[in-house]
């Protein structure tokens, strides 16, 4: 070693170089670690994008709530302003400035949706209350409370629960409860109308025109009332609606048959009036009958058989009146002519006798 002092440092470097190379080189088959790529200049940071997402979520929630309570119907211009803010936010570019602008726009949209919701909620509640009260008042006026007090009381209790929830500010719960109350009153209204249709079918002996639908309606109406008592209100509503529809089909079939018969009778009466020239002799009476007859024809063509039958029946009676009035006028006229002829004949006889007398005197 003493002979090579100058080369000593180089020997040390040569000895440790392989060791340093092993420490820095990646293992065989492994990729070198990637360096983190800094965000492009002007791009929004993850934190800012998170704020943007939160602002959008808030706006979405406010927008849904406002829409669920019909805000766009009650205040369309305010709703459109909120929608414009929302659209502006959704178009913000993916830059730091764009994200900040989007956050501000989403928050402004949320505030706008909240504002229009607050304006709309009293109107929405009032509209629903008006629907419920109208149905309830009609049922009471028809005597439903006297006949079925328990069914109406159960609906009243649900309606009062909805009112309490609304007053507590629990608007979604109030909405759902009010919907249920409305469905209950609608079910009772359908049932009441079904009973009316059923009674008319019985009174007019219309069952024979569609017995299958009548029997099925009887069964479904019973099911509807059973469902209502069991608090299966959705099923009760659907069954009450179907029962009413089936009873109406029976009524329609019965009235269609009656309308056809009355139409034939009215047409015959009309022709009889025309045959005696009633349209000329008693123009006002005939015109009234003709107007009703045309209304009946239009109703029949529109398949409004009940109205058509009643109008045909009414027009028939007036056509008959027109005919009899015309004949009566002709009878009076004939009598007048006969009396005039008698007077002429009497005048002729008097003149002849006078002529004979004069002739006799001359002799």
Per-residue pLDDT tens digits for 142-154 = 999 888 899 999 9
Give the model confidence (pLDDT) of 29-49 as tens digits: 444 444 444 444 468 788 889
Q: pLDDT: is 120 or 334 the higher one?
A: 120
Say if 207 falls within a structural domain.
no
- Name the token pair of 181: 């109350």
pLDDT of residue 9: 39
Asked if pLDDT for residue 58 goes beyond 80, the answer is: yes
Specify the DSSP element, H or E, that contains 361.
helix 305-362
> Last residue of a domain, which of 127, 147, 163?
127
* pLDDT, average across residues 332-347: 61
> Last residue of a domain, which of 127, 151, 182?
127
Say if 285 falls within a structural domain.
yes
Give the model confidence (pLDDT) of 161-211 as tens digits: 999 999 999 999 999 999 999 999 999 999 999 999 999 999 999 999 999
Cα 270 from Cα 300, distance rounded (Å): 17
Largest Cα separation within the chain, whole Å, is 214
Asked if pLDDT for residue 21 goes beyond 50, the answer is: no
Cα 319 from Cα 288, distance rounded (Å): 9
Asked if pLDDT for residue 221 goes beyond 50, the answer is: yes
* Residue 307, domain extent: 254-342
Say if 17 falls within a structural domain.
no
Structural domain total, the chain: 2
pLDDT of residue 93: 86
Mean of pLDDT over the chain? 85
* pLDDT, average across residues 253-265: 94
> Last residue of a domain, which of 83, 100, 127?
127
pTM of the model: 0.72
Asked if pLDDT for residue 357 goes beyond 60, the answer is: no
* pLDDT, average across residues 100-119: 95
Say if 363 falls within a structural domain.
no
pLDDT of residue 51: 93
Which of 241, 228, 231 minimizes the C-alpha distance to 189? Answer: 241
Provide the percentage of residues in the chain whose pLDDT is more than 70.
Answer: 80
Say if 175 falls within a structural domain.
no
Say if 300 falls within a structural domain.
yes
DSSP 9-33: HHHHHHHHHHHHHHHHSPPTTPPPP
Cα 220 from Cα 241, distance rounded (Å): 9
Say if 327 falls within a structural domain.
yes
Which of 28-37, 86-95, 109-118, 238-247 is predicted with the least confidence, judged by mean pLDDT? 28-37
pLDDT of residue 13: 35
Which pLDDT band holds residue 335 (cuts at 50, 70, 90)?
A: low
Report which DSSP code applies to 208. G
């Amino acid at each position: 070693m003493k002979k090579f002092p100058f080369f000593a440092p180089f020997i040390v470097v040569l000895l440790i170089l392989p060791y340093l190379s092993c420490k820095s080189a990646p293992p065989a088959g492994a990729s070198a670690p990637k360096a983190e790529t800094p965000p492009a200049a002007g791009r929004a940071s993850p934190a800012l994008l998170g704020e943007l997402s939160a602002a959008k979520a808030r706006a979405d929630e406010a927008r849904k709530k406002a829409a669920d309570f019909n805000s766009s119907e009650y205040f369309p211009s305010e709703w459109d302003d909120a929608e414009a803010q929302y659209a502006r936010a959704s178009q913000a570019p993916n830059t730091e400035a764009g994200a900040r602008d989007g956050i501000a726009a989403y928050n402004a949209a949320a505030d706008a949706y909240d504002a229009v919701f607050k304006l709309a909620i009293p109107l929405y509640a009032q509209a629903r209350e008006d629907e419920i009260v109208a149905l309830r008042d009609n049922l009471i006026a028809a005597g439903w409370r006297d006949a079925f007090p328990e069914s109406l009381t159960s609906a009243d209790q649900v309606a009062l629960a909805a009112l309490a929830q609304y007053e507590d500010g629990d608007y979604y719960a109030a909405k759902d409860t009010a919907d249920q109350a409305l469905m209950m009153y609608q079910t009772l209204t359908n049932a009441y109308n079904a009973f009316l249709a059923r009674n008319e079918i019985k009174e007019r002996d219309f069952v024979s025109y569609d017995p299958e639908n009548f029997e099925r309606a009887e069964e479904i109406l019973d099911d509807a009332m059973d469902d209502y008592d069991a608090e299966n209100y959705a099923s009760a509503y659907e069954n009450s609606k179907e029962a009413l529809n089936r009873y109406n089909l029976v009524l329609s079939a019965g009235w269609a048959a009656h309308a056809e018969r009355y139409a034939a009778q009215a047409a015959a009466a009309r022709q009889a009036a025309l045959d005696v020239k009633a349209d000329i002799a008693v123009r006002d009476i005939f015109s009234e009958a003709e107007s009703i007859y045309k209304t009946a024809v239009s109703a029949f063509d529109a398949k409004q058989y009940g109205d058509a039958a009643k109008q045909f029946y009414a027009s028939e009676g007036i056509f008959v009146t027109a005919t009899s009035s015309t004949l009566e006028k002709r009878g009076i006229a004939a009598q007048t002519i006969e009396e005039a002829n008698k007077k002429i004949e009497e005048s002729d006889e008097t003149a002849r006798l006078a002529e004979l007398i004069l002739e006799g005197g001359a002799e």
